[in-house]
Structure 1
Amino acid sequence: MKIGLVILGVGRWGVHFVRNFLHHPSVNLIGIVDPSNSNLENCKTKFNLNEQEIILTTQWSKIRENQNINAVVIATPASTHYSLIDDALNLGYHVLSEKPLTLEPAECVALTHKAQQKQRILFIDHTYLFHPVVKKGAEIMRAQCLGELRYGYASRTHLGPVRQDVDALWDLAIHDLAIFNYWLDDTPIAVQAQGTTWLQSGLADVVWATLTYPSGFKVYLHWCWLNTDKQRRLCIVGSQGSLIFDEMSSNEPLVLQHGYFEDKYSPTGVEKEVISVTKDEPLKNVCDQFIQSIYNQNVEQAASGKVATDLVKVLKGLSLSLQKNGEIINLVS
């Protein structure tokens, strides 16, 4: 039986859900909801949609009780997630939500519990955790190829798009936070952040942050949407080498850079190892796994409410530190 599905939100990211689900062999796309008529029209034109077969509406209330719906995709601003997901779960629908799950950890916990009580799938689109490069990187980390871990760093910068509802922290940080937590198989116990605002009052355009993990391992991060030097690069440094994920390198996105010191700090064993990785589309993997989760009634850990809650806790801590001009925020009471 095909899954009857509705997509809420077809902005910059939501249209990719339409692309993936429109011809999915296990999905019947019933409707698309977006408050913008322009977004709906663009979606209709882009995918040559037939309104006799797929409902296009600006109001969720007009379609929410359609008897053919089994699942919904939420790709709306994060501030709307809680109410929409809560409503969908109450109606008995499975939910695939864009990240972050909500803006508050307590709301994440409440939705996770409700999904369990309703015996419905709540699947969060932590896209990078379904990226073949990130999955391969996790395998390398589990094999302890880097020796004693030293520190990590990441930079995610570009010139726009500039968000008007959240700052660069809430826009960009969750990707790197998710990868580091996954690779380290842990979550930070303390965070620190500072930022600067040029474009919009109250919304930082650039953020510098530090994460501290239980082992004492630290990660240093740089996020900015006002920088023409586009970077999406992440690295973990160890005593025997470094693991580098450079998304801007199409030919060598994952590199294990070997090398260590001998004698009086003499570089030894310096060798670049390009890791072979498949080129699956991460979002396609997300969509496929969501449908599979409905059939199996089992959510992959990477898309779970627990992972989502942990990430929102870190984001909240960083945001508080940002407001307090770099004060260290302990995440463990």
Structure 2
Amino acid sequence: MVATKPPDFIFKDVPRSTASAVQDVAFEESLVLVKSAIQHYLNQFFDKNGKYRRLVEAVCPTVGQFVTDVRVPRPGDYVDPTTYKIQIARLWQGLKQRLPCIIISETGWNRQGSLTDISGGISVPGTDGMQHSPLWISNFLMGSIDILVGSQDEHTTGQIASQLINILGPLRELTKSSILQPTTPTGGSTWEVRLPMNQTIGSRERLNIGDDPIDSIWSTTISLDDVHFEGATPIDMTAVVPTEPDVSPNDPLDDNFPDTEILVSSPVKLGRAQPFRVMNARYNAIVYSDNPAVAIIKGETIIPRRVGTFNIVVANGNTIGLSATIFATKEVAISLI
């Protein structure tokens, strides 16, 4: 059974390399959200079951022939001959058929910095013995979005472009869609996209495909020159809840000394230092990683080096070697996400 995606579903492709996964930061997420929000807004007009489909058919009759799905959900499941399938995508790779199509792309952004780029939250104790405190990374972006329209003839390109001007202009005001927001929180993030009042439409151009001059497309561009994005992405920060031992760390009576315990959250994200805490450590204890290729220990902080697993080892500093006395060990995983 195929799961039905929610109407505000945001698609994000799987990272193709380790570097791209590590560099997937809040700024890149913001750009994806801007284009996804505009894509979702346009789909509400071009989808047969879209929220504003009837409105656009009444105000813009010529756009009624363009839909995102030409199949009619009736017995026999036939294709409606009076309609043309149109593709709306954020990437060229997202097109399932060539034309007609609408492509959403960004042309440049200016990030506005402030003293509140990072704000802290309330520290809450967790069930893992750690203290959790969310940090919010804020992004305020100002930039431009280009909406490219392509078809096999000049008339169709002009039709779609003129109706997009209506959708992004008067119908945007009529539907109160100047500010686009998620209907449900996405992973704790809060954001909004503010669309500009003015749009710029370029001239229609004929572009040849390959060497055959007959095989060509007509395209034009609608520019949104003042798109604003404002959002905040939460990052969970952890710290150890300190507790006092029942006896002094220098107590020579081993029978009365509590067991050494290692408190750490696992998995640890690659590229981010993770604090941990050793509870009830002996005065002569040392702490180290048994696999320095995966992570190293500096003080009471884990420095990840690559994906894998390793053990935090607490041992007697006077008995280093194969016969070392091990007080405690804790397995920790290093992951990309």
TM-score, normalised via structure 2 length: 0.23
Structure number having the greater strand percentage: 2
TM-score, normalised via structure 1 length: 0.23
Structure number having the greater helix percentage: 1
